[in-house]
Amino acid sequence: MMKSMLSVAAALLVLAACTNDHEPGYAPAKEIRVDASIGQMTRVTTDGDESVFETGDRISVYAWLGAADDAQQLVVDNSVNTLGDDGTWTASPQMLWANSSSAHYFLGIYPVQEVSDLKAMNYVLTPEDQEASDLLYAMNAGTENKGITPTNTPVALTFSHLMSKLVINLNFRSQWSGTPVVESVRAIAKAEASVNLLSGEITPQGDNKAIDIPALETPAANYACSYAGIMIPNSNLIEIQIKVKDIDEPYVYNVGVSIPLETGKYTTVNLTLGRDEITLDNDITITDWAPLEGDYGGNIFFPDV
């Protein structure tokens, strides 16, 4: 499992043939290998500020000929690259350039995804598996989308988040005798989407559902408890429901308009619960993806009440 990222640089390194270009039987480089590193931004499963891949990490790599927005001529079809304990990546199946002159286009996906149509990947949000739900992709179509011809220079893949993240911070008015037990926090929104991995466009699909938002082990400063979970961007988030123990009906935050969710961004909603009402504490904010204290890395949980 990778410990952190929002910008992952993966390099597809072309190995030269064993013979040199002055010997009989010389052939241009054919094999593509991966040398991956982590940038400064984090994935949903961040655990501190470490920025390295871990042994066993896997990414999917696709490559094709033709055009950046048309992946019909695949030459690498979901080659799963796994990081070994020696620091090298092993591709299965092996990745090869189609020839020595054609322009190639590259796509990386994390976690590993077998996709039959790169323009219409079916995505289903899984709240209990935040790491799998945090879909990242990297596209390299070369300069001016003209592709990359085989060379011994690494081909960079810089990963970015395709999904959004919803953060909910809760406080309780003095009407409560202490902090009540929150049984669940749910967002009412779409949980399925069609993802165009060539353009990064996401089209939410299906009906709205109640999506459980996991609790953070460490609340945000000045709040009693905090929750954070992956969401589909622009997924018609119309309502937040908070179920408190021994209260029959959930508290509902709904102002009649969708709460904004953007690709690669956090949406933070701060709420205060009284005995008879729920109110918004300050404005809803949208910020860049960044680590949260107590966020995942083994600390993700749903309260057992």
Tens of pLDDT along 55-87?
A: 888 989 999 999 999 999 999 999 998 878 887
Residue 299 belongs to some domain of the structure: no
What's the confidence (pLDDT) of residue 49?
31
Place of tokens 């990963």: 159
Residue 301 belongs to some domain of the structure: no
Do 96 and 54 share a structural domain? yes
Domain boundary among 161, 176, 211: 161
Do 170 and 145 share a structural domain? no
Is the distance from CB of 5 to CB of 20 less than 8 angstroms?
Answer: no
Residue 304 belongs to some domain of the structure: no
Domain boundary among 136, 161, 186: 161
What's the confidence (pLDDT) of residue 33?
58
Do 137 and 28 share a structural domain? yes
Number of domains within the chain: 2
Do 26 and 12 share a structural domain? yes
Distance CA 232, CA 269 (A): 16
What's the confidence (pLDDT) of residue 178?
85
Do 146 and 36 share a structural domain? yes
| Nearest to 197, CA basis, from 63, 28, 101, 32 | 63
Do 157 and 13 share a structural domain? yes
Do 44 and 138 share a structural domain? yes
| DSSP symbol at 131 | H
| Nearest to 201, CA basis, from 134, 260, 136, 119 | 119
Residue 113 belongs to some domain of the structure: yes
Residue ranges of the chain with per-residue pLDDT less than 70 = 1-29, 32-53, 291-305
What's the confidence (pLDDT) of residue 64?
97
Give the dihedral sign, CA 260/264/268/269: positive
Distance CA 217, CA 215 (A): 6
Domain that holds residue 58: 8-161
Do 254 and 228 share a structural domain? yes
Do 156 and 193 share a structural domain? no
| Structural tokens at position 116 | 């039959």
Place of tokens 């990064």: 200
Residue 302 belongs to some domain of the structure: no
Do 178 and 123 share a structural domain? no
Q: What is the CA radius of gyration of the chain?
A: 23
CATH number of the domain at 69, please. 2.60.40.2620
Do 193 and 60 share a structural domain? no
What's the confidence (pLDDT) of residue 214?
97
- How are strands ordered across the β-sheet holding 70-83? 89-92, 70-83, 58-67, 104-110, 136-140, 160-161
CATH number of the domain at 203, please. 2.60.40.2630
Please give the single-letter amino acid code of residue 61: V
